[in-house]
Amino acid sequence: MEILFKDLGTVDYQKAWDYQEKLFKETLTSKLENRNHSSNTKLVHHQLIFCEHPHVYTMGKSGVQSNLLISNEQLENIGAQFYRINRGGDITYHGPGQIVGYPIFDLEIMQLGIKEYVYQLEEAIIRTLGDMYIPASRLKMATGVWLDADNASKARKICAIGVRASRFVTMHGFALNVNTNLAYFKYINPCGFIDKGVTSIEKELGVKQSMDTVKKLLLKYMREVFNADIAPF
Give the pLDDT of residue 171: 96
Nearest to 169 by CA among 27, 1, 37, 42: 27
Q: Give the pLDDT band of residue 205 (cuts 50, 70, 90).
A: very high
**Domains in the chain, number:** 1
Higher pLDDT, 153 or 176: 176
Give the residue numbers spanning the domain of 80. 2-232
Q: What is the pLDDT of residue 196?
A: 82
Provide the pLDDT for residue 32: 81
Cα–Cα distance measured from residue 210 to residue 202, given in angstroms and rounded to the nearest whole number: 10
Question: What mean pLDDT, rounded, does the chain reach?
Answer: 93
Q: Is the pLDDT of residue 161 over 80?
A: yes
Mean pLDDT value across residues 137-152: 93
Window from 37-46, 74-83, 131-140, 190-199 with minimum mean pLDDT: 37-46
Under the phi-then-psi rule, with left for phi > 0, alpha for psi from -120 to 50, and beta for the rest, what region is 61?
alpha
Residue 186: per-residue pLDDT:
94
- Catalytic positions are 191
**pTM to 2 decimals?**
0.94
CA angle 48–200–144, rounded 5-degree value: 55
Query: Of the given ranges (47-51, 145-149, 216-220, 229-233), which has the lowest mean pLDDT?
Result: 229-233
Q: Could you report the per-residue pLDDT of 24-70, keeping only the tens digit for each?
A: 999 998 888 877 765 556 677 899 999 999 999 999 988 999 999 99
pLDDT in the model for residue 194: 73
- Assign residue 185 the CATH number of its domain: 3.30.930.10
Burial of 185 per CB tally in 10 Å (0-12, 13-18, 19+): buried
